[in-house]
């Protein structure tokens, strides 16, 4: 079964086989996404993917996958120079995640996936995953699609923009939004922007490393876009979602087999 936590009753949750259940905690953001996308982009994309995962539920036979209520605000202080961004401080966000994980653990669940769609949350997810392991004995996994190879195969097939085309409010996110909620996307306002020159090129300090700078969004982009949204299409968006569902099912099947 794949279901939302909030749609199950007390007794249904209590009776789940905790050895065969994975709980995912969706972490996203409410933050500026350039002139053409809504501030809820990361949350909308994650909700849409969860809907599609639930539809694909009969193809997951390894037990139960339960999506906890999504946290639609994350750590987005890098975007605070732009209107509409809401953010927790690192301390608040850490405390929230720690409290929610304590509840999930208290109710007997053993496997927790921090299910993250916002690059600014990645460091927090990785940091707290180890603490949750130590504090509650949970098996904790970090699902992150920004600083991992998650999208690599799909991008190889569909990305038409250049090296910096997929980053923020970009070809990937705009395509996903054209598929998920086209009425909120204003393609006539979309602009492409590469990161500022000091963070690009064939040298050490770039937005892709190997040396990272502690930048805020205004340091990197004037428009608030990093990437090439003008290459986005609804068709690509549907393909990206289909790819994500298949890959996520495979990831969850693998996690279901791990015990540590
Ligand atoms: Zn985003």
Q: Kindly give the residue spans of alpha helices, DSSP state H, lying in the chain.
A: 10-15, 41-55, 90-106, 122-136, 152-158, 171-180, 217-220, 234-257
Q: How far is the CA of 31 from the centre of ligand 1 (A)?
A: 8
Which pTM was predicted?
0.95
Q: Which domain holds residue 171?
A: 2-257
Work out how many domains the chain is built from and give that number: 1
Ion ligand 1 residues within 5 Å by Cβ? 41-42, 173
Give distance in angstroms: CA of 25 to centre of ligand 1.
17
The string of pLDDT tens digits covering residues 47-73 is 999 999 999 999 999 999 999 999 999
Nearest to 182 by CA among 4, 24, 41: 41
Residue 236 binned pLDDT confidence (cut-offs 50, 70, 90): very high
pLDDT the model gives residue 118: 96
**How far is CA 117 from each of CA 18, 28, 62, 102, 112, rounded to the nearest angstrom?**
26, 5, 24, 22, 16
Which CATH number does the domain housing residue 145 bear? 3.40.50.10310
- pLDDT band of residue 117 (cuts 50, 70, 90) is very high
Q: Which residue from 194, 222, 223, 199 is spatially nearest to 212, judged by alpha carbons? A: 199
Q: How far apart are CA 118 and CA 22, in angstroms?
A: 21
Q: Tell how far the Cα of 18 is from the centroid of ligand 1, in angstroms.
A: 33
When pLDDT is cut at 50, 70 and 90, the band that residue 21 belongs to is very high
The tens digit of pLDDT for each residue in 195-233 reads 999 999 999 999 999 999 999 999 999 999 999 999 999
Encoded tokens for 163: 């090296």
**Residue 198 Cα, ligand 1 centroid: separation in angstroms?**
23
């Amino acid at each position: 079964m794949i279901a939302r936590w909030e749609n199950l009753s007390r007794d249904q949750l209590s009776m789940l086989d905790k050895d065969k259940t994975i709980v995912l905690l969706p972490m996203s953001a409410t933050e500026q996404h350039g002139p053409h996308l809504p501030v809820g982009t990361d949350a909308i994309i994650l909700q849409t993917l969860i809907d599609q995962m639930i539809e694909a539920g009969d193809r997951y036979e390894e037990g139960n996958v339960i999506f906890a209520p999504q946290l639609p605000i994350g750590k987005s202080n890098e975007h605070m120079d732009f209107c509409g961004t809401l953010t927790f401080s690192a301390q608040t966000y850490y405390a929230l995640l720690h409290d929610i994980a304590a509840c999930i653990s208290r109710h007997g669940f053993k496997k927790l996936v921090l299910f993250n769609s916002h690059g600014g949350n990645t460091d927090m997810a990785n940091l707290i995953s180890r603490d949750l392991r130590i504090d509650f004995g949970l098996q904790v996994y970090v699902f992150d699609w920004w600083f991992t190879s998650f999208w690599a195969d799909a991008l190889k097939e569909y990305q038409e923009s250049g090296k910096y085309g997929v980053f923020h409010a970009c070809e990937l996110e705009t395509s996903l939004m054209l598929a998920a909620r086209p009425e909120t996307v204003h393609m006539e306002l979309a602009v492409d922007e590469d990161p500022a020159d000091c963070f690009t090129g064939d040298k050490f300090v770039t937005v892709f490393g190997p040396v990272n700078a502690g930048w805020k969004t205004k340091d990197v982009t004037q428009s608030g876009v990093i990437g090439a949204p003008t290459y986005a299409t609804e068709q690509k968006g549907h393909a990206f979602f289909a790819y994500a569902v298949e890959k996520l099912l495979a990831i969850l099947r693998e996690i279901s087999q791990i015990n540590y």
